[in-house]
């Protein structure tokens, strides 16, 4: 099984965040270690356009079989294009085709080996699954969210619940539990990317984690929260 860690050099919110030291090690090192520590993952690749990231990734045990083209390392670049490039390159240059591919985003460093292994096992247990994504309970319900273009026009609710046209007035306990996806781990069948032109497919199975684990680093505050969690929990770390 292949793990791909996408890590481009540019970052506007937190410059060079992928290689900033987190509890003494570059942020990306935690994703590399998570993949290397997982028994079911046999190969770990970092897709990057940055020589600095590539050098650090190699020093922590990841492969850099290619450098990512600049056109796939822009602010608006899609995961799909990055993974299509990686899988196509490996097939064309090494005749290598993994049975499963995992995405570990460097900006979500909180992981446990047991969670990774369970997600991989579930892909074998549920052959109808195109992919598995990690989710967590949303802090806010979209049934109480609004679209508001200007202050001179009436708002419209983002969502309404069947049978409850004013779902925004309902007690939270009456509304469905909503989850948001976390960048911790995706496990995908390669044919979904190569043949269905999708990063997820239509049959996306869930794996739930607790909200305190679901830290996506995009500013100094989330960086500090991740560092605090890692220092006080028995997650994957150095």
- pLDDT in the model for residue 11: 76
Clarify whether residues 123 and 75 are in a common domain.
Answer: yes
How far apart, in whole angstroms, are the C-alpha atoms of residue 215 and residue 129?
26
- pLDDT in the model for residue 28: 98
Q: What are the tens digits of pLDDT across the range 178-216?
A: 999 999 999 999 999 999 999 999 999 999 999 999 999
Give the phi and the psi of residue 93 in degrees, each rounded to 5: -100, -25
- pLDDT in the model for residue 188: 99
Clarify whether residues 11 and 52 are in a common domain.
Answer: yes
For the chain, residues with pLDDT lower than 70 are none
99 contact partners, CB below 8 Å, separation of at least 6: 1, 190
- pLDDT in the model for residue 165: 86
Q: Is residue 101 a part of any domain in this protein?
A: yes
Q: Is residue 237 a part of any domain in this protein?
A: no
**In terms of residue numbers, what domain contains 129?**
2-136+181-232
CA 57 vs CA 52, 72, 121, 167: distances in Å: 9, 19, 27, 48
- pLDDT in the model for residue 37: 99
DSSP state of 158: S
- pLDDT in the model for residue 177: 94
How far apart, in whole angstroms, are the C-alpha atoms of residue 87 and residue 37?
22
Tally of domains within the chain = 2
- pLDDT in the model for residue 15: 85
233: Cα separation from own chain's centroid: 20
């Amino acid at each position: 099984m292949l793990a791909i860690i996408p890590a481009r050099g540019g970052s506007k919110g937190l410059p060079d965040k992928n290689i900033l030291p987190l509890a003494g090690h570059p942020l990306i090192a935690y994703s590399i270690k998570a993949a290397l520590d997982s028994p079911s993952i046999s190969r770990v690749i970092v897709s990057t356009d940055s020589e600095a990231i590539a050098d650090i990734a190699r020093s922590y045990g990841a492969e850099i079989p290619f450098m990512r083209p600049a056109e796939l390392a822009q602010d608006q670049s899609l995961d799909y294009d990055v993974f299509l490039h990686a899988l196509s390159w490996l097939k064309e240059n090494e005749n290598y085709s993994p049975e499963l591919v995992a995405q570990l985003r460097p900006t979500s460093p909180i992981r446990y080996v047991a969670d990774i292994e369970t997600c991989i096992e579930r892909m074998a247990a549920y052959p109808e699954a195109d992919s598995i994504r990690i989710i967590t309970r949303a802090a806010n319900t979209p049934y109480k969210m609004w679209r508001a273009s200007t202050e001179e026009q009436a708002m419209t609710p983002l969502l309404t619940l069947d049978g409850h046209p004013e779902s925004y007035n309902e007690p939270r306990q009456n509304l469905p539990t909503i989850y948001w996806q976390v960048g911790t781990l995706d496990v995908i069948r390669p044919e979904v990317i190569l043949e269905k032109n999708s990063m997820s497919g239509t049959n996306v199975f869930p794996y739930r984690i607790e909200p305190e684990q679901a830290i996506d680093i995009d500013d100094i505050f989330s960086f500090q929260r991740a560092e605090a969690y890692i220092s006080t929990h028995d997650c994957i770390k150095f």
